[in-house]
Structure 1
């Protein structure tokens, strides 16, 4: 089968399209013929081995996983004898980040609990855009942010992969949502139901008199003090992504700030979870959430997809058609 393979950390140039052996499913594994995959920030971490601490999980001197790619959507081609949840021909989607990655290929063999049935109202490309970004948004809002109906929620970095899901999920939970983005992305936020849209090239959320009960920092370089000042009493800030300095502040200073006041500051890392994947499937099928896709690339164009993604201006998700 064809797959994107790399054997050293570096820029997108280290990624090569090559022929590798087609996997054979084990007793509790599912063989999926992959129709589409998508890019996430975690793919960049695996490619570059940065930040360096990530290498303790992904390989200290060279990549532990030779085929990148976490999010997939495809069709079940074979199943192991102990598989209970799926049958031949089922259309599925999933997050492979806890079971060896390997999504940028024509086939993958994965444990059945990494998958769920694909939302019936989505194409394979649309379904591949959902797992990691959608579950990240869900877990950060619901589990870390304790989102409640009627709350005022701010999503900073609202037009990217996680951000577009976060806006819609927060609306589905009954929140009043303000999204922060650049001028070119205002139409996207309006189309996915944001109540208020702030163009950061013209105004800052820190200048607004109103406060927020929950802030999701998906992107940006604001210091923690800006978020703290903008939170309402008992408000919660959740750092999902942004500059390195912002990440350090959230991890090092967040717990201290949370101890001495009513405002809570925390950082968050998504963890793949089948039940949350099923929850996202239900949100999508109910019409409350839809993936926003910026651009699709072919499998042979994965290096170009990485270069485009790394520019940081994607409007929604970048998808790979296999």
Structure 2
């Protein structure tokens, strides 16, 4: 089978298409024909080994798992002995976590992993994009920011995969949402549902005098120190990007007027992720959440996908298509 892999750390060019034997599912496992998989910021860190602490998770000298990719959607292709949750032909989506392997035509996962059935009406690309953005944004807003009706939420990086999902989910949770983005994305962020949009090239959203209950730094481009001035008493700064500073601030800010929170949503137990997958699938089916997709590329263009991700200016998710549905092969 074809896979996209990186056997050493480096620029996008180190990612290339190779071949591996098709895996066979064992007891309690299923094999998924991967029809869409996201290429996100975490994959970029996996491939590049940057920032340095990414290597603690992915391998000190080279990627521990050279076939990257976690967020996927596809068809169950085979099941191992004792598998009861899924059957061949089921539409599924979810995440493989730190073991990766989604940038391949086929991947084997445990039936009790972070995998759920995908309703009809949600496309393969949209499903992979949900895992890429909304699966991060939902726990940040719900569990980290405790967003509820009437709150004011500022989303920094509102045009990205996580930020775009955060705009829609914060609205769904009843918040008044302000999105921060570049000039080119103002209309896009407004179309996602943001009641207010700040063009970061013209205005510093942290210095407008407005105050927010939650500042969600989905792009990881600001800091708690800067965001504090824009938070109300008891307000929360959320960031997706870990650093030594935010680790310390998360501890020290607990006794202060505002709080800093960093969450590692990808490390949550699979049994915690599964209900979120079901909830997001339902929201996508009803149109409450509409995943934004920057580009859909064939697996052969994996390096191009990483180049787009590395710019830090993608509009929504970048998706690759490792395989095709049965009967569509050329």
Tell me what 2:247 maps to: 251
Q: 3-state SS of the aligned residue for 1:235?
A: strand
Tell me what 1:6 maps to: 6
Q: Which ranges of structure 1 fall in alignment gaps of 5 or more residues?
A: none
Tell me what 1:109 maps to: 108
Counterpart contact for 2:214–2:236, Cα < 8 Å: yes
| Shift in alpha-carbon separation, 1:2–1:253, aligned structure 2, 3 A | same
Tell me what 1:168 maps to: 168
Structure 1 length as normaliser, TM-score? 0.94
Tell me what 1:93 maps to: 93
Distance 2:116 2:221 in 1: 35
Distance 1:111 1:130 in 2: 20
Counterpart contact for 1:119–1:127, Cα < 8 Å: no
Q: 3-state SS of the aligned residue for 1:130?
A: helix
Counterpart contact for 1:119–1:284, Cα < 8 Å: no
Residues 208-227 of structure 1, C-alpha deviations (whole Å, 9 max, x = no match): 22210111011254342221
Distance 1:72 1:37 in 2: 4
Counterpart contact for 2:34–2:105, Cα < 8 Å: yes
In the TM superposition, 1:47-126 aligns within 5 A as 47-98=47-98, 100-112=99-111, 113-126=113-126
Tell me what 2:279 maps to: 279
Tell me what 1:288 maps to: 288
Tell me what 2:201 maps to: 201
- Root mean square deviation of aligned Cα: 1.5
| Shift in alpha-carbon separation, 1:33–1:10, aligned structure 2, 3 A | same
Counterpart contact for 2:35–2:124, Cα < 8 Å: yes
Counterpart contact for 2:10–2:49, Cα < 8 Å: yes
Residues 41-95 of structure 1, C-alpha deviations (whole Å, 9 max, x = no match): 1101110122222323222222110201111111011112222221111111111
Tell me what 1:139 maps to: 139
Distance 1:220 1:70 in 2: 21
Counterpart contact for 1:167–1:179, Cα < 8 Å: yes
Distance 1:206 1:34 in 2: 42
Structure 2 length as normaliser, TM-score? 0.92
Matched, 1:262 2:257: yes
How far has the Cα of 1:14 moved from its partner? 1.6
Distance 1:43 1:200 in 2: 26
Q: Which ranges of structure 2 fall in alignment gaps of 5 or more residues?
A: 323-330
